[in-house]
Structure 1
Amino acid sequence: MLKHAVIPLLVSAGLMAAAPFAQAATNLVFCSEGSPAGFDPGQYTTGTDFDASAETMFNRLSQFERGGTAVVPGLATSWDVSPDGLTYTFHLREGVKFHTTPYFKPTREFSADDVLFTFNRMINKDDPFRKAYPTEFPYFTDMGMDTNIKNIEKVDAHTVKFTLGTVDAAFIQNLAMSFASIQSAEYAAQLLKNGTPQDINQKPVGTGPFVFKSYQKDSNIRYTGNKDYWKPEDVKIDNLIFAITTDPSVRIQKLKKNECQITLFPRPADLKALGDDKDLKLPHQAGFNLGYIAYNVMPVLKGQTAPNPLSDLRVRQALDMAVNKQQIIDSVYQGAGQLAVNAMPPTQWSYDTTIKDAPHDVAKAKELLKEAGIKDGTEITLWAMPVQRPYNPNAKLMAEMLQNDWKQIGLKVNIVSYEWGEYIKRSKGGENQAMIIGWSGDNGDPDNWLGTLYSCDAIGGNNYSMWCDPAYDKLIKQAKVVTDREQRTVLYKQAQQLLKAQVPITPVAHSTVNQPLSAKVEGFQVSPFGRNVFSGVSITP
C-alpha cells in the first residue's frame, strides 16, 4: 500500500438593522456578486454556490491548500492506495464536531457513517434520503464518479474504503472539490424523521469554520465563527456576512466606504484607482479560467419544434470565425484578458500549443451559412450571463458585441438573460442556443476541463453545448485511467484537436483575477480555482 498523506467594522445600515453585533465582535463583510441557489454543495457547480456553502461551512476528505493547487489532508488525516490503484482507504480525523444550530444539535462526532451517507446519496438513486428529496448531483455525475465508485465500505468508525471500477488518476483531487463536501448522516436522519429532507439545502450543517445563521435572498447571508472547529487557528472572525451586491460599481463603493472589506470581479476600468488607493490592497494573478461561447448542437432545442441551425457544423464554424475576439478583449477585458484559442488555459498541463484559431473571416462565414441553407435574417438567440464571473467581467457588453459580429454575416441575434440560478438550470436542461459562459479550473487536472465540460457524461451538467462525440469520449476516458502524465498528455492533445474541429464552443479569453480588499484584511489568499475562502482570514486594527 502507498501512504499519502480588532475593531468594530462599519456595515451598511440595512445589515446592521437586521441583527446588530456585539461591539467587541470581529466582523468581516464580503460583497458577493449573486445569490446562491442553495447550500447543499453536491447539487451545484458554480462558484457563487460553492463560496456560500462548501468554502464556509463544510470540509472534505482531502482539501486544497489555501491559495494553491496542492492537496492536503482534510477530514481524512491520510489515505492508502492499493498497488492496482482501485482501492483507497481513508483514515478519518477524530474529534471533529458538526455544527450546533437552533435546528440541529449533534449527539456524536464526525465518523465513517457521514462519509457513507454523503457519497451513497449521490451514487444511489434509491437511497432513502434521495427518494424523499429527489435531486441530482451534476458535478459528481459529470465526472463519472457515480458509476466508477463501485463500493464504499465502513471498515470501522474512523476508516472508510472506496473501491473503484477503473483507475481514476485524479481521484484524490476530485474528492477535494466543493461538491464532495461531507454532510451529517445524523442530521439527515433527523430531517427524514421530521419529513423535511429539503432543509438540507436551506438549513445547512457542516464541520467547517463558519456556522450558518440566516439568509435573505438578494440581500445577505450571515455566518458565525465555529468555536468548535477542529482547526481553531483558522477561525479568526466572529461574524462573516455576505452582502449580495450584483452591481460591480456598488461593490467598489461599499469597499471604499468600509461597508465591506473584501469584494470581487472589479470592472477593468476601476483597477487603476483601486491600485492607487492606500486603504486598499489589490492582489491579482493569472486566471486559471476560460470565458467562452457554447453552441447547443441538438437538432431541436428543448421546448421548441423548429430545427436548430447550430446543429450544423458549418453554422458553428461561421459563428466562430465571425467573432472579433480582439475587439472583445480590448473592450470587455480592457487589458486584463488573454486571447483564448483552446478549450482550457495554457497553464494547464497537456495544453496543445499547436491548436490555432480559424481566421476572422466575415466573407468565408457568409459562404458557410449559405452552404448550410441559412437565409439572411435568420434569428438565433444568444444567452448573456446576468453576473460577473472570474472569466468574464461584462457578459452584457460581450453579448452586444457578438450581436453586432453576427449581424455582419446576416443573422438577427436576440439577447436574453435570466437570474443566475435560473440561467444555469435552464441551460443544463438544454433550452439555450448560443450562450456566454465560462469555467475556472477546480482541481488542476485536465479532466476537470475536457471531461467536466465537454464529455457525453456531462450533458445535463456542465456540457452546455450538449455535444457528444464517441471518439472524443474514448480518448478522455482512456486518459483518466492512465497514471503516467506523458501518456495522458498524448491522449488529451488528441482530444483537444477533435474538439477544436467540431466547434462546440468558441474560446474567447482567459481573464486575470483581481481581488480588491481592505488593507486591514490579513491572510486572504487568491484562489487559483476562483473560490473565496475565509478560513485563516483576520482583520487588523
Structure 2
Amino acid sequence: METSPVLRGHLPDRPALAPTRRRVLGIGLALGLGGFLAACGTGPAAVLSAPSGPPQRGGRLRVGLAGGGAADSLDAHSSVSTTDIARIVNLYEPLLYRDENYELKPLLAAKVTPSADARVWTVDLRRDVLFHDGRPMTGKDVATSFKRIVDPKDPKSGAAALAILDEVAVVNEHRVEFRLNSPSATFDDSLGQYTLGIVPADYDPANPVGTGPFKYRSFAPGRNSVFVRNERYWRDGEPYLDELEILNFNDDDALINALLSTQVDAIGQIPLTLLEVIDADPRISILSAETGAWMPFTMRVDRPPFDDKRVREAFRLAVDREQMIEQVLSGNGSLGNDMYSPFDPGYPSHLPQRKQDIARAKELLAEAGHPDGLTVELVTAPIQSGAVEAAQVFAQQAAEAGIMVKIRQVDTTTFFGDSYLKWDFAQDFYYTRNYLPQVNASTLPTSPFNETHWDHPEFNALIKKANATVDDDERNALIAQAMEIEYNEGGYIIWGHANQADAYQQYVAGLVPSRTGLALSGFEFRRVWLGGAS
C-alpha cells in the first residue's frame, strides 16, 4: 500500500488547518495592535507605501509559510512541505510550467513536439540557460535528472506521473527524446510539474545547483532559508530582488501575527475564515485566486451501499453546495458539479449544475431498497483546511434525505495509513490538474489513488483512446464523454473548488492571482519587487 506523502503527489502542499474560535479572537487582538503601531509611525509599515511605476531592483523579500520541520529539504525532486515547494520553485526549473492562468508554457524547453502516435516526445532545449555555477544546461543534464527521479531504488516525488517513461534519449546537447511504453497525448502536462526540475549531471542536494532565479545561500531546516539573486538567470532583468528569505512558522497564529507586526512581507495560504479579519488592516492586501482545487467525498463503488449508482446519485443530490461553500469556505470558492478539472478544455460545461433535491434523493434511496433511509460512517481527518467542517455540514444536510451520517474523525497519520484507499465513505483533496493526468492518478483501475475503486469499461476505453489522440479537438470530445459518465455514475461528490488566499504588505509588488493552487503567485518570486519610502 502506497501511503508516502512524497510519492502521493498532492499531500505535501496542503494548506494550513482551519482556525478555532480562540484563534480568530487572538488574531483580532493582534490586528488591533498592528493598527495602533502603524498609526504611531512605528516600523517599516509607517514609511513604506504601495509601489508605483516600473519594477525596482534590490531588497530582501521575507515570506512566511506554515509547516515544515526537521525533514525539510532542498532536494529538487523530493519536496514534502509547502516550504519545500517554495524553495524548489525558486532554485530549480522544469522543462514546462503552468502559468498563473493555468496555461502550459515553455520554461527550459523551447519547443515540445509529440510523434504521430504520441509515444515519442521531442524536446528542444533553450540554448541560453546556465546553471548557478555557470555551466550550460545540456541534454545530458535533462536525461540524468529524469533518471534520478524514476530511480526504482529511490523514486522521487514525480516518479508516479512518469510510469510510462521508458527512457530519455540524448539526441544532442540541445535536443532529447522522451520515449514512452504507451501513447500519451498529454505527456507535456507531466513535464510541467514543479517536482521535475532540471539539475546538473553531478547534482548534490547538499550543495544545490539549479537554473532558477535564485541561488542557495543558507538553510536551517524547520526555521528559514535564504537565497540570493542569480545574476546568470536567463530571463532579462529578473529577478528584481537581491535576496529571498523563506521562514517557517508552526501555526497560523504565529504566521499571521508575523505579517501584522511586519516581521515578514508576505504569507501564504490564509485560512479562508480569516480573510475579512485580515483585510480590515489597511496596511495589508489580500491576494485571492480561483482554483481548480477540490476536496471530494469519496464513495467506494464496489461496496454497499455505494455499489448502487442510485445511492451515489442520492448522496450527490443531498448536498446544498451553496451552503457548503458559505459555511466551509466562508464564501471563498466556486460551485462544484461532481467533476474535477474545471479548467480543462474538454470540460463539458453543457451539463446542468447539480443542486440539492431532497425529494428526488429520497425517491432514489427507496428505489435502491432503502425506503426508510440508511446509515453510513464517514471517515474524516484534518487533511485539508475545512475537511472536518465539510463532513459536519454534509451530515446535517444529508439528514434531510433520511441519510444518517456517523462521523468518525481520525488523525491525519491514521487517515493516510494502512486503511487509506480502503474507506467506504471518506474524503480526500487535490490541487488543480487537467483531466487526463488526474484520471491517471485517481480514476483508473491502475491509478495509484483510486479511492472510489472506479472501474467502468466504457470510461476506461474512452480514456485509453483520449490518451492516444494527439488532435486537441478530438481528444477534448472524448474527455467530455468520459466526464459525462463520471458525472452520472462516478464515486466522487465534488461540491466546490476553494479559492487560494494569501496576504502581503502593500509595499510588495508583482504578485498576481494564480489558478495553480500554489500560494503567492505559484511561489514565482522572480517577478516580485519592493516599493520604496513614501
* Alpha-carbon distance between aligned partners in 1 of 2:490 and 2:208, rounded to the nearest angstrom: 40
**3-state SS, counterpart of residue 202 of structure 2:** helix
C-alpha displacement at 1:496, in angstroms?
1.3
Rounded to whole Å, the distance in 2 between the matches of 1:335 and 1:344 is 19
2:460 alignment partner, SS class: helix
Task: State the partner residue of 2:6.
Answer: none
SS of 2:462's partner is helix
In 2 relative to 1, CA 283–413 (structure 1 residues): closer, same or farther, beyond 3 Å? closer
Of residues 513, 520, 525, the one that matches 2:512 is: 525
Which residue of 2 is the match for residue 52 of structure 1? 86
Q: Quick one: which of 354, 359, 376 aligns to 1:357?
A: 354
Q: TM-score, normalised by structure 2?
A: 0.74
1:458 paired residue number: 447
Residues 448-489 of structure 1, C-alpha deviations (whole Å, 9 max, x = no match)? 4444442334324xx443433332222122123223333223
Q: Of residues 392, 398, 402 in structure 2, which corresponds to 1:400?
A: 392
Aligned residue type for 1:416: V
1:154 and 2:170 are equivalent in the alignment: yes
Q: Which runs of 5+ in 1 are unaligned?
A: 1-8, 12-23, 101-105, 189-199, 300-307, 389-393
Separation in structure 1 between the aligned mates of residue 83 and residue 485 of structure 2, nearest angstrom: 32
Deviation at 1:48, TM superposition (A): 2.8
Partner of 1:31: 64
Cα deviation, residue 266, structure 1: 3.1
Q: Does 1:540 align with 2:527?
A: no
Alignment of 1:162-201 (within 5 A): 162-165=178-181, 167-187=183-203, 200=205
- Give the direction of change, closer, same or farther, for the CA distance of 1:70–1:313 in structure 2 (3 Å limit): closer
**TM alignment of 1:367-382, pairs within 5 A:** 368=365, 380-382=377-379
CA RMSD across the alignment: 3.9
Q: Is the 8 A contact 2:119 2:179 kept in 1?
A: yes
1:290 corresponds to 2:294: yes
Match of 1:103 in 2: none
Q: Structure 1 residues 453 and 114 mapped into 2: Cα distance closer, same or farther (>3 Å)?
A: same
- 1:387-536 aligned within 5 A: 387-388=384-385, 394-405=386-397, 409-418=403-412, 425-426=416-417, 429-442=420-433, 445-460=434-449, 463-531=450-518, 532-536=523-527
Q: CA deviation at 1:505?
A: 0.8
Deviations 1:263-305 (A, max 9, x none): 2333445434544543222233332333322234565xxxxxx
- After TM superposition, the score normalised by the length of structure 1 is 0.73
- The residue identity in structure 1 corresponding to 2:410 is V
Confirm or deny: 8 A CA contact 1:30 1:263 kept in the other structure: yes
The equivalent residue for 1:261 is 265
Aligned to 2:7: none
Separation in 2 of the partners of 1:110 and 1:331? Answer: 50
**Aligned counterpart, 1:3:** none
Moved over 6 A (4+): 372-377
Q: SS where residue 439 of structure 1 aligns?
A: coil
Between the aligned partners of 2:497 and 2:405, the Cα distance in structure 1 is 27
Query: Which residue of 147, 163, 172 corresponds with 1:120?
Result: 147
Q: Which of 334, 337, 347 is 2:330 aligned to?
A: 334
- 1:506 and 1:523 map into 2 onto residues whose CA distance is 37
Tell me, in whole angstroms, the C-alpha distance in 2 between the residues paired with 1:84 and 1:386: 40
Structure 2 unaligned blocks of 5 or more: 1-42, 46-56
CA 1:367 to 1:522, structure 2 compared with 1: closer, same or farther past 3 Å? closer
Contact map agreement 2:90 2:526 (CA 8 A) in 1 = yes
Question: 1:237 aligned to 2:253?
Answer: no
CA deviations over 1:414-469 (Å, ceiling 9, x no partner):
122316xx86x538952545333333324xx4324444442334324xx4434333
Asked if the contact 1:378/1:411 (under 8 Å) is kept, the reply is: yes
CA contact (8 A) 1:97 1:228 kept: no
Work out the CA distance in 2 between the residues paired with 1:150 and 1:187: 22
Aligned partner of 2:219 in structure 1 is 214
Against the structure 1 CA distance between its residues 81 and 509, is the aligned structure 2 distance closer, same or farther, given a 3 Å change threshold?
closer
Q: Which residue in the other structure is 1:324 paired with?
A: 320
Cα distance change of structure 1 residues 337 and 494 upon mapping to structure 2, 3 Å threshold = same
> How far off its partner does 1:354 sit?
1.5
Measure the CA separation in 1 of the matches of 2:193 and 2:76: 10
Opposite residue 137 of structure 2, the aligned amino acid is: F
Percent identical among aligned pairs is 20
What is the aligned residue count? 468
* SS of residue in 2 equivalent to 1:289: coil
Tell me how far apart the structure 1 counterparts of residues 78 and 210 of structure 2 sit (CA, whole Å). 15
Residue 507 of structure 1 deviates from its aligned partner by 0.6
What secondary structure, in the 3-state scheme, does the structure 2 residue paired with 1:382 have?
strand
Quick one: which amino acid aligns to residue 111 of structure 1?
A: T
Task: Tell me which amino acid in the other structure corresponds to 2:248.
Answer: I
